[in-house]
Structure 1
């Protein structure tokens, strides 16, 4: 059950990350990262690794986008 919740939170964070990939909307990733970290923690509490791994990928994409944009753009 916690794995499904983690995946749902990860999907919401991934949607925010996709919006954050648009030029000049990179600041959305600052709101996406805490959501993905909550999904990661819930994924760590579950028995399965799917939600945890998905949230880790979303976090990495968000961090890379923030690094490319200088943290703001």
Structure 2
């Protein structure tokens, strides 16, 4: 159940992160980061690690986009 909840947090975060890759929308990643961290923590408590790994991939995408834009753009 916790794994499913973690995947749900990851999907919601991914819906926010994908449009944030467009120039001048990078600030939206800052709204997705807390959701991603919550998904990682919930996935860590699960017996399965699929949800946690999915959230880590979404976190990697958001972090790369934030680093390219300098944290804001």
Residue-by-residue CA offset, 1:2-26 (whole Å, 9 max, x unaligned): 0000000000001110011111000
Runs of 4+ in structure 1 off by over 2 angstroms are none
**Rounded Cα–Cα distance in structure 1 between residues aligned with 2:72 and 2:10:** 22
**Rounded Cα–Cα distance in structure 1 between residues aligned with 2:23 and 2:48:** 35
The answer to whether residue 23 in structure 2 is matched with residue 23 in structure 1 is yes
**Rounded Cα–Cα distance in structure 1 between residues aligned with 2:59 and 2:5:** 17
**Rounded Cα–Cα distance in structure 2 between residues aligned with 1:20 and 1:47:** 31
Say which SS state the counterpart of residue 6 (structure 1) adopts: helix
Residue-by-residue CA offset, 1:2-59 (whole Å, 9 max, x unaligned): 0000000000001110011111000000111110000000000000010000000000
Unpaired runs of at least 5, structure 1: none
Map 1:5-44 to 2 at 5 A: 5-44=5-44
Aligned residues: 73
TM-score (norm 1): 0.98
Report the RMSD for the aligned CA atoms in angstroms. 0.5
Unpaired runs of at least 5, structure 2: none
TM-score (norm 2): 0.98
